[in-house]
Amino acid sequence: MGVLTSQSEDFPKWYQDVLNKAVLAESGPVRGTMVIRPYGYSIWERMQAEVDQRIKACGAENAYFPLFIPMSYFEREAEHVEGFSPELAVVTHGGGSKLEEPIAVRPTSETVIGEYMGRWIQSYRDLPLLLNQWANVVRWELRPRTFLRTSEFLWQEGHTAHIDQEDARRYAVRILEDVYHDFMVNVLAIPVVVGRKTAKERFAGAINSMTLEGMMGDGKALQMGTSHELGQNFAKVFSIDYLSDKGAQELCWTTSWGVSTRMVGGLIMAHGDNNGLQVPPVLAPTQVVVIAIKDDPEVIETAGRIEAELREAGVRVRVDTRVDTSFGRRATDWELKGIPLRIEVGPRDLAQQEVTIAVRATGVKSKASLSGLSNKVSETLSEIQSKMLAFAIERRDERTAECSTLSEVVEAAGSGFARIEWDLVGEKGEAELARSAITVRCLQRSDGSLPYSEDEPGLVAYCARAY
RNA sequence: CGGGGUGUAGCGCAGCUUGGUUAGCGCGCCUGCUUUGGGAGCAGGAGGUCCCGGGUUCGAAUCCCGGCACCCCGACCA
């Protein structure tokens, strides 16, 4: 009997078990909300730090806009309001009386940020305007699932305004590639499929939505991030315009892009196994845990010394000296939490001037000499990172089928992704696949690059069941 | 919103059909002792508006009426 429900028995139940046993999060008191517990939040904080750093490297600056948005803002952009009004939370009362105009709790901030961009941009010299905010948003989801689809979630949303379509497009792609794709592959070790959304799947109010799709342990897809070209749709209704160097009044071209706490759910489902979560070393809030096996002064003292030495070497490490708890319990707990590397220190090890090293990803234990331990640890951590990515790539490729008919797609989507020529699907095929709960996750050119339009000939559609 | 289900200790559940002493069980929690190299054992202990409101009855977790909440399956979504 395992600690968790096994993945093959019931994947959703396994996911719930991991959330509980690894002490990541639980449901909040209001339907669809979640409480993120300290360990879960520390993983999110690491994601934030890595993403934030990349966003800043692309030149965007952080700012903060209000949670409350006048309802009237939403009504300005027809497609946007149509897309979002069903899931808006609306405040009708404040300070004990009914409000003149209802206030929406932001589901996303294109409107309010558009309003202020319009005020701030006057000249072509003010462009591009590159903003980002870290915030919570609320969407009244009909079927919530912890981290994957919650009524309130945390995210970053970038909003930019550009001088022309080309500059806007280039920036939206740059965020997609240099921030999201780089982060997901090199930090999360999740080999996402990057492509363009079909018209049906496009963000409400965008002219182009691009996406990064991760494959989960059960072969289903998870949209892990998006970057949108908004064209001039929001510029028109929020008067985001500027005076060009030729003295003409011109409309800006805007973009928006985001990743959310959903990535925590993606991390769990992409790397987790029947022993629990697995956090890639580059991301892990705790990369190494040093377990003092026995209540012995020399053991405790050595564990502390190893901790200090590793911390000095830049390793995120913590020591476990809870010697009144059995070893098995502690080992299992750290495995559930997915700590990549465990160092066990006991009297038997010390007699040999060595320690035991256990790798979470493989379950393999080996001995390592006390001297030169920090080098050994750093090397092992980077090996684990590579192995996790290699394993995820292998699974993605194994479970991606080349198809030439819709019925083959339906078959293949039962266990993974299906690739098929987009010309063989089209809007009609997309609707037909939807009846089998399969969606076109994204479109790519045959060489894997991003299409300018879904009408380009020779595109490949990635189809899958999705969360 | 349509269909199904569940509300009893922190969590998971039994008890309800056929009303009746002090409402049980497992896990977790607390104390003590023995343990500790893969979820320890024994002993003792704490913890309950039985979802809410009304009704029937000498007596309701249990029967009746009304309400609420949550979960699962579909349409929506980062």
In a domain, A279, yes or no: no
Q: Return positions of chain B under 7 A from a protein CB.
A: 1, 35-40, 69-78
Residue with tokens 């959330």, as numbered in its chain: A19
Both A292 and A267 in a single domain? no
Is residue A395 situated within a structural domain? no
A302 CB closer than 7 A to any strand B atom: no
Among candidates A357, A355, A356, which has minimal Cα distance to A384? Answer: A357
Confidence of residue A96 (pLDDT cuts 50, 70, 90): confident
Are A298 and A261 in a shared domain? no
Cα A255 to Cα A174: distance, rounded to the nearest angstrom? 11
Strand B contact at CB of residue A6, distance < 7 A: no
Does the C-beta of A294 come within 7 A of strand B? yes
pLDDT at A97: 82
A230/A99 Cα distance (integer angstroms)? 32
- Residue A1 has a pLDDT of 46
DSSP A168-232: HHHHHHHIIIIIIIHHHHHTS----EEEE--GGGS-TT-SEEEEEEEEPTTS-EEEEEEEEEEET
pLDDT at A143: 80
Q: How far is the CA of A286 from the C1' of B76 (A)?
A: 37
In chain A, what percentage of residues exceed pLDDT 70?
100
Q: What is the mean pLDDT of residues A353-368?
A: 97
Residue with tokens 């009609």: A428
**Would you state the pLDDT for residue A32?**
85
Biggest distance spanned by C-alpha atoms of chain A = 81
Is there contact between A156 and strand B, defined as CB under 7 Å from any strand atom?
no
For residue A242, is it within any domain? yes
Same domain, A181 and A59: yes
A10 CB neighbours strand B below 7 A: no
Residues 35-64 of A with CB under 7 A from strand B: none
Residue reference for tokens 């280039």: A170
Residue A344 within a domain: yes
Q: What mean pLDDT is reported for chain A?
A: 94
Residue A180 beta carbon within 7 A of nucleic strand B: no
Query: Which residue's CA shows the smallest distance to C1' of B72?
Result: A143
Per-residue pLDDT at A196 exceeds 50: yes
> Any atom of strand B under 7 A from CB of A379?
no
Residue A289 pLDDT level (bands cut at 50, 70, 90): very high
A245 CA vs B48 C1’ separation (Å)? 76
Q: Do A435 and A377 belong together in one domain?
A: no
In-domain check, residue A391: no
Rounded to an integer, what distance in angstroms lies between the CA atom of residue A313 and that of residue A323? Answer: 26
pLDDT tens-place string over residues A400-418: 999 999 999 999 998 999 9
Q: What are the beta bridge partners of residue A461?
A: A420, A443
Asked if A293 and A414 sit in the same domain, the reply is no
A254 and A297 belong to one structural domain? no
The C1' atom of B8 and the CA atom of A269 lie apart, in whole Å, by 34
| Mean per-residue pLDDT, A55-78 | 94
Number of domains in chain A: 3
- Residue type at A393? I
CATH number at residue A448: 3.30.110.30
Select from A242, A271, A300 the last residue of a domain.
Answer: A271
Cβ-based neighbours of A127, under 8 Å, separated by 6 or more: A121, A161, A162, A163, A167, A242, A252
Q: Which nucleotide is nearest to A139 (CA to C1')?
A: B77
What is the ipTM score, two decimals?
Answer: 0.88
Distance from the first to the final alpha carbon of chain A: 28
Please determine, for residue A263, whether its predicted confidence score (pLDDT) is greater than 60. Answer: yes
Residue reference for tokens 């990541």:
A24
Q: What is the pLDDT of residue A87?
A: 85
Residue A3 predicted with pLDDT over 90: no
In a domain, A280, yes or no: no
Q: Are residues A144 and A243 in the same domain?
A: yes
**Same domain as A120, residue A188:** yes
Three-state secondary-structure class, residue A417: strand
Q: What confidence score (pLDDT) does residue A8 get?
A: 84
Domain boundary residue, one of A215, A236, A271 = A271
Whether A148 sits with its Cβ under 7 A from any strand B atom: the answer reads yes
CATH code of residue A93? 3.30.930.10
Q: Is the CB of A86 under 7 A from strand B?
A: yes
Q: Cβ within 7 Å of strand B: which of A 386-445?
A: 434, 437
* CA–centroid distance for A299 within its chain: 40
Q: What is the mean pLDDT of residues A444-461?
A: 96
Residue A391 tokens, joined? 């394993």
Tell me, yes or no, whether A432 and A369 share the same domain: no
- Summarize the confidence of residues A277-298 as an average pLDDT: 96
A254 and A364: one domain? Answer: no
Instruction: Give the C-alpha separation, A335 to A286, whole Å.
Output: 12
The stretch A309-325 carries a mean pLDDT of 96
Structural element, H or E, at residue A145:
none
**Closest nucleotide over all strands to A355 (CA to C1'):** B37
Looking at the structure, tell me whether residues A35 and A119 fall in a common domain.
Answer: yes
Q: Which nucleotide is nearest to A437 (CA to C1')?
A: B74
Are A258 and A296 within one domain? Answer: no
Is pLDDT above 70 for A372?
Answer: yes
The pLDDT value given to residue A234: 95
Segment A447-455 shows an average pLDDT of: 95
Domain that holds residue A408: 400-464
Decide if pLDDT at A238 tops 60. Answer: yes
Nucleotide of closest approach to A155 (CA, C1'): B78
